[in-house]
Structure 1
Amino acid sequence: MIEDTKRKPISWPVIALMDFVTVIGFDDIIYNFQNQGLQVVGDWVLLLILFVIPYELIVGHLGSTFPEEGGGLSSWIRHTSGDKMGYIAAWSYWVVSLPYLVDVANSTVVALGWLVNGNNSMEDKMSNQMFALLTAVIFVLFIFFQHHFSNSLQILSILGGGAMFIVTILYVIMTVAYLGKGGQVHTHPFNFTSFIPKFDMKFLMSLGLLIFAMNGSEFVAPYVNEMKNGKRDFPKAMYMLAIMTGFLTIFGSFALGVFFNAHNLPHDLKMNGSYYAFQAMGKEFGMGKFFLYVFIITQALYMLAQLAVLVDGGARIFLSDTAKKYLPKQLTKTDRNGLPINGYWLTTFICTVILLLSATLPTMNDIFNQLLNLNGIISPYVTSLLFWAFIKVRENEEKFPSDYVYIKNRKFAIFVGWWCFILTIVAATFGILPIDAKFGSATWWHMLILNIVEPLFLIGLGIILPMIAKRQQAKEAAKN
């Protein structure tokens, strides 16, 4: 790949905005509002202080320590813990995006359903099999488009991401305007005590999805070497990201409590809640379905853009940054445009298996919820590797110097690293327990089995690939 030396460096505010799109969206607020109601506002505040700010500034520290590395987390792990751990991190970071990829494809189908019908009737009109088939069709179409129109998809990602950022802020602003004109709050009581979190089993079961909603800031780490002064400016982007994340989660959840009754939420809020939110806002302002259709179009663009980035970006990071000796040679093959085409097809295969397993659930809403919650299990497990890299860097400061140092006191920095590491492990483990089905019901047990089987499938595949690569290398060595 020939590097364009005339390309302008990426500024830190642009890095922060790029990262914001991958870290938090309107749907993330909806998901956790259904789990916790108004108490989620307190959860966001608590996690912002105890997890998000340390997490994003740790990313800033690691990005400043390894500004020339293009693999992000996998590069950090490889430098601190060796090639084998680097492969494990790269594989884990890649596969963790695949259930989310399925979730995004599902959300794309839902968005198109709202665009066609103008309501949530798709669930009644469409069978689970058709839902799964349409999701698979979207994957195949994106493999084709990614192969032939990659530049157009980059433009789509800018449009979709920018539009989502604007409409999400718009929702908060319109909520303030609604209250300013004397609008009625739909949740009662709506006072300070309503926002205080309860540290019960439901909180622990929700914690993984809360962390999933706020992680991903390391996704832009490969762009550090495209900044004018990445060592100095990348941490600034992380500060800006933390502020934006805090604003959106706290005030966004507050706004949902204004338009929804937190004690009587629709059962399909996770799948359709974003549309209900903008539908309710249009109704309250006497503007019919105007805001709804603005969001439907935005959501469709945003999901298609995310799909494009996830299909290409994840495969590129994994296949370009991992030691070749751990991969079958077929996976390292690229087409005439330098794209890892077989990596795309492996992505499609894994996503299809996950989708088919989850499609055995009774309803479309169950499928959507289980795939979503799967992210709250595997994503925190992989995020814990980031804190492991930070601990190793701070234990060996002489070997890994950094222009930006998060927490000058080395012992306290290591303590914070261990705190975040343990928190993510605990959150992921409790996330295995289904939160969207009645305890002990057939659906609850079904979801629990899937929450165990699907991660084991991903781990097993990650073990098989190096075995295939080793066998190929042995055969080539025998020929020579």
Structure 2
Amino acid sequence: MDSLDQTDKRKYISWPVIALMDFVTVIGFDDIIYNFQNQGLAVVSDWVMLLVLFVIPYEMMVGHLGSVFAKEGGGLSSWIRHTSGDKMGYIAAWCYWVVSLPYLVDVANSTVISFAWLIKGRALDDSEMSNWAFALFTAILFVLFIFFQHKFANSLQWLSIIGGGAMFVMTILFVIMTFAYLGEGRPIATQPFHFKNFMPTFDMKFLTSLGLLIFAMNGSEFVAPYVNEMKDGPRDFPKAMYMLAAMTGFLTIFGSFSLGVFFNAHKLPNDLKMNGSYYAFKAMGDKFGMGNFFLYAFIVTQALYMLAQLAVLVDGGARIFLSDTAKRYLPKQLTKTDKNGLPINGYWLTTFICSVLLFLSSTLPSVNDIFNQLLNLNGIVSPYVTGLLFWAFIKVRVHQEDYPSEYVYIKNRKFAIFVGWWCLIVTLTGATFGILPIDAKFGTSKWTHMLILNIVEPLFMIGLGIILPLIAKWQRKRDGEEA
């Protein structure tokens, strides 16, 4: 719980609360589903390996950077600005914001799907919703959220408490019910269920899915701006990162194992990424003779969770990007706020970019293909930006005399720099191989189509990030300000 300082009566956020807040943004039940379809039961060993060789170092680096820049409120963009200058700070802010937009589209898509399940009680087929109808419903959802955020300020933020808490409970419940199921001696869906099923396979499929694995486990820096709201941030923030790593490890490893109990890992549904969470809770209800109880409990939870994510991402993302650091590089129209202090034009820019991504992907053959391609786009763009975090850590350790820290991750400077470079190389490798489509057969027209989108869509986002500062520079010259 939050604590109250007796001297200045200020309310602080405790480190367990920070860990729980971060957990909601880092890992969810869907993240486990996505990678289970890519790797099957082998993903269990992938999670273990990544947890030790990547996630724990990554989250401890976040703890170190959070300790160094405990008084800064901009998170990654502040870290880059202080280590590499204002221009790099803008680039980091732009990249960090823009790469969240494919995820925002993914969340909006999932929200539409959750309502479809709520109404129909089953997965929709392509005859019930065309690609363009799917895109249109998602776009309408964006517009509605812009309206509500504008009219009611932050009134939707309470959804994050209910939705996030409920999702955590449902995911834990799934793991507990799995072991209860096994405790009754019931059959496992994956047959044969051998130890070798869990062994990792370091092939092209592993490399092309590595980016999505990293995407599933990154994001711990989202709560970095809250370090200065802790009573002793430099000391306690790293504790939150340890707790987060433990929670992430538990859910990814045991959650993936649980999926192998209820699904045949050797023959998975083609639409598992889009509908797998619902199939999982329906299967659990069927196995325990409880009908659709677990299914509808999850549908409601998923809808609330996705609405909460939408509210936070639309508002929070725009606020982070439109910070003081970035204003010099942005057209004046984007920096204006409404009477509630909300960056309304930033909301509309968000909607525009998301709509372009969505309608480009809607040229794919089916709704399932749209969902999978936009999901995998996250495994390309998000890890590239995570690489900036490792770069900031490397810079801090190279010049550690200029960046004192109460918490030091790896006291030996040379080894710390080596670990920073290791994480950076792993991240860039996963992002680069992620450009190759994993949900289509190599050589088919669909594979080529997805490959083109995986290249064109990131280039569109980069291009827009270049154009906006040029417009801002032209405006300053026009108004006689410093260029």
Are 1:251 and 2:254 counterparts?
yes
Q: What CA distance in whole angstroms lies between the structure 1 residues aligned with 2:60 and 2:43?
A: 23
Contact 2:81 2:87 in 1 (8 A): yes
1:208 alignment partner, one of 206, 211, 215: 211
Deviation at 1:325, TM superposition (A): 1.6
1:465-476 superposed matches below 5 A = 465-476=468-479
Q: 1:478 to 1:245 in 2, by over 3 A?
A: closer
* TM-score normalized by the length of structure 2: 0.97
| Residue 285 of structure 2 corresponds to residue 310 of structure 1 | no
* 2:49 is the alignment partner of 1:46: yes
CA distance in 2, matches of 1:479, 1:65: 32
Q: Distance in 2 between matches of 1:79 and 1:457?
A: 28
8 Å CA contact 1:114–1:122 kept in 2: the answer is no
Corresponding residue for 1:158? 161
1:400 aligns with 2:403: yes
- Distance, in Å, in 1 between the alignment partners of 2:330 and 2:324 is 11
Name the structure 2 match of 1:137.
140
In the alignment, what sits opposite 1:376? 379
C-alpha change, 1:86 and 1:118, in structure 2 (3 Å) is same
Is 1:330–1:342's contact at 8 Å kept on the other side of the alignment? Answer: yes
Superposition deviation, residue 321 in structure 1: 4.4
SS at match of 2:480: helix
1:425 aligns with 2:425: no
Q: Which residue matches 1:88? A: 91
Structure 2 gap ranges (5+): 1-7
Unaligned runs of 5+ in 1: none
Q: Per-residue CA shift, 1:164-219, capped at 9, x if unaligned?
A: 00000000000000000111101123232211100000000000000000000000
Distance 2:133 2:103 in 1: 20
Correspondence 1:444 to 2:481:
no
Of residues 152, 163, 169 in structure 1, which corresponds to 2:172? 169
Q: What does the per-residue CA deviation read over 1:239-278, in whole Å, with 9 as the maximum and x for residues that have no partner?
A: 0000000000000000000000000000000000000000
Change (3 A) 1:472 1:206: same
How many angstroms apart in 1 are the aligned matches of 2:140 and 2:348?
13
Query: Counterparts in 2 of 1:82-121, with a 5 A limit?
Result: 82-121=85-124
Matched-pair contact (CA < 8 Å) for 1:22–1:219: yes
Q: Please name the residue that 1:292 is paired with.
A: 295
The one-letter code sitting in structure 1 at the alignment partner of 2:210 is L
8 Å Cα contact 1:113/1:122 also seen in 2: no
**1:237 paired to 2:236:** no
Q: Is the 8 A contact 1:106 1:135 kept in 2?
A: yes
Task: Find out whether 1:179 has 2:182 as its counterpart.
Answer: yes
* C-alpha contact (below 8 Å) 1:113/1:120 kept by paired residues: yes
**Any conservation in 2 of the 1:172–1:252 contact (CA below 8 Å)?**
yes
Q: Residue 208 of structure 1 contacts residue 430 of structure 1 at CA under 8 Å; is this kept in 2? A: yes
1:189 and 2:192 aligned: yes
Aligned residue for 1:414?
417
Kindly indicate whether the alpha-carbon contact (under 8 Å) linking 2:476 and 2:482 is maintained by their aligned counterparts in 1.
no
CA distance in 1, matches of 2:9, 2:460: 44
Does the 8 A contact of 2:114 with 2:303 survive in 1? yes
Aligned equivalents of 2:211, 2:291: Cα separation in 1: 36
1:353 pairs with 2:352: no
Conservation of the 8 A alpha-carbon contact between 2:211 and 2:431? yes
| Structure-1 separation of matches of 2:163 and 2:447 | 35
Quote how far apart the aligned CAs of 1:133 are. Answer: 0.5
Q: Find the aligned partners of 1:90 and 1:479 in 2 and give their Cα distance.
A: 22
Q: Quick one: distance in 2 between partners of 1:233 and 1:478?
A: 44
Structure 1 residue 6, shift from structure 2 partner: 5.7
Q: Distance in 1 between matches of 2:110 and 2:125?
A: 12
Identity value in percent: 79
What do the CA deviations read for 1:267-300 (whole angstroms, capped 9, x no partner)? 0000000000000000000000000000000000
Measured after TM superposition, the shift of residue 122 of structure 1 is: 5.1
The one-letter code matched in structure 2 to 1:222 is P
Residue 126 of structure 1 is matched in structure 2 by: 129
The residue number in structure 2 matching 1:336 is 339
Tell whether the 8 Å contact from 2:175 to 2:258 is kept in structure 1 after alignment: yes
Q: What is the CA deviation profile of residues 386-418 of structure 1, one whole-angstrom value per residue up to 9, with x for unaligned ones?
A: 000000000111110110000000000000000
Determine whether 1:434 maps to 2:437. yes
Alignment partners' CA distance in 1, 2:89 and 2:154: 30
| Contact 2:383 2:431 survives alignment (8 Å) | yes
- What's the secondary structure of 1:419's corresponding residue? helix
Residue aligned with 1:288, SS: coil
Task: Give the match's secondary structure for 1:121.
Answer: coil
Provide TM-score, normalisation by structure 1. Answer: 0.98
The answer as to whether partners of 2:93 and 2:326 remain within 8 angstroms in 1 is no
Alignment check: 8 A CA contact 2:153 2:340 kept: no
Do structure 1's residue 456 and structure 2's residue 445 form an aligned pair? no
